A = this chain, B = another copy of it.
Amino acid sequence: MLRISIVGAGAIGRIHAHNVARHNGARLAYICDVNPEAASALASEHGGRAVGSIGDAVGDDVDGVIIASSTASHGDVANACIAAGKPFLCEKPLASDLSTAAKIVESVRAANLVAGMAFNRRFDPQYAGIKTAVANGEIGKMECILITSRTASAPTLDFIKTSGGLFGEKGSHFYDLVRWITGEHPIELFAMGAALINPSFADVGEVDTAMTSMRLPSGTLCQFDFSWRAAYGQDERLEVCGSKGMLQTQQAPSGPFTRFAASGMTHSGLMPTWFERFEETYKVELDVFFEAIASEGRDGLPTLADGLAAQQLADMAKQSARDGAPVLIPASG
């Protein structure tokens, strides 16, 4: 049984605590949060000991750490894990600035530590299935990729001030998906954004609705459409079109049957939030992380370098949207 510490007892930390507690191969060691009550509450619900300092959560009786604290603390927690030699799984972003993140990537590489980014969408059967089908050549040469992600509700203005914004919080997931599916890093990017849902986002230089266009080295063109409002539920779609055909995820209705009435044929709507839509991916993500700890292999675990690359793209998109200008990206290794 792996002994797992969770750093951060907020929304995402709660999901991980719930899943670790129910996992056959792991149990909770420590729940660490700067807010002692939050840590205690989560520990009393799912097991593990509540602690207030990261140092108490990376001791000898710990096999791995899940970093789910606030963005600003990610870098420090990651560095504490590296110092203690503890494998970790980090919610995005890896650190609040790119240079800190890059140093962490380097330290982990030097220490040959098992560490991964929590890009849970990679574990969704829709996205994983399309990656496989593309790799199998089902659609020939890729030509364009379209991704839509609209979420039921927007974060608060307070959250948005210290967070990665729409491009960082939402966009990085999908920039990562494109990199993962294609194996390519974009060479050109343009973003256009607006504060249509909460106009006060504009006052802090943020947006809640945005389009991004990208060009990949192979020539493939990509479009992303992000929104923090979807009155009709979590709407997330991906399609990949190539010389021989097209693959498209389904907008699966949340309900099990169809109503036929004089007013039309109605399915229940989409899933209400991202959580119901992607609940299962968090479990698979743990399986992969725990397997990586046990085997010291890393197959299937999104790397920290992946996390850094997605963060760079999100930063560029934000910059592009602010400047109203495209960004040319030097080819990376």
Contact with B along A144-168 (1 / 0, CB 8 A): 1010101000000000000000000
CA distance in complex: A199, B252 (Å)? 38
Contact with B along A230-271 (1 / 0, CB 8 A): 111101000001111111111111011111111111111110
A324 pairs with B188, CB closer than 8 A = yes
CB neighbors of B among A98-151 (8 A): 124-126, 129-130, 133, 138, 140-141, 143-144, 146, 148, 150
Chain B residues contacting A144 (CB-CB under 8 Å) are 209, 211, 225, 227
Chain B residues contacting A269 (CB-CB under 8 Å) are 260-265
CA distance in complex: A269, B259 (Å)? 10
CA distance in complex: A189, B231 (Å)? 27
Chain B residues contacting A193 (CB-CB under 8 Å) are 221
Copies of this chain, complex-wide, total: 4
Chain B residues contacting A248 (CB-CB under 8 Å) are 257-258, 260
Instruction: Tell me if A74 is interfacial: C-beta within 8 Å of chain B.
Output: no
B258 pairs with A245, CB closer than 8 A = no
B235 pairs with A260, CB closer than 8 A = yes
Q: Name the one of B210, B232, B247 contacting A246, with C-beta atoms under 8 angstroms.
A: B232
A264 pairs with B266, CB closer than 8 A = yes
Q: Name the one of B192, B209, B257, B262 contacting A249, with C-beta atoms under 8 angstroms.
A: B257
Which of A193, A253, A262, A267 is the most central at the interface, judged by chain B CB atoms within 10 Å of its CB? A262
Q: Name the one of B188, B197, B257, B326 contacting A129, with C-beta atoms under 8 angstroms.
A: B257
CA distance in complex: A265, B263 (Å)? 12
Q: Name the one of B246, B256, B258 contacting A230, with C-beta atoms under 8 angstroms.
A: B246
Instruction: Tell me if A223 is interfacial: C-beta within 8 Å of chain B.
Output: yes
CA distance in complex: A253, B126 (Å)? 12
B229 pairs with A243, CB closer than 8 A = yes
Q: Residue on B with the closest CB to A251?
A: B265
A146 pairs with B148, CB closer than 8 A = yes
CA distance in complex: A257, B128 (Å)? 10
B231 pairs with A244, CB closer than 8 A = yes
Instruction: Tell me if A190 is interfacial: C-beta within 8 Å of chain B.
Output: yes
Instruction: Tell me if A26 is interfacial: C-beta within 8 Å of chain B.
Output: no
Q: Name the one of B220, B257, B270 contacting A250, with C-beta atoms under 8 angstroms.
A: B257
B215 pairs with A213, CB closer than 8 A = no
B261 pairs with A231, CB closer than 8 A = yes
Given A148-B146, A267-B265, check contact A140 B215 (CB 8 Å): no
- For the complex of A and B, 8 pairs with smallest distance between CB atoms: A232-B260, A245-B261, A126-B256, A246-B260, A266-B266, A264-B269, A265-B267, A125-B256
Can you list 9 A-B pairs with a CB-CB distance of less than 8 A? A143-B197, A190-B192, A192-B213, A247-B258, A247-B259, A249-B257, A263-B269, A265-B270, A325-B325
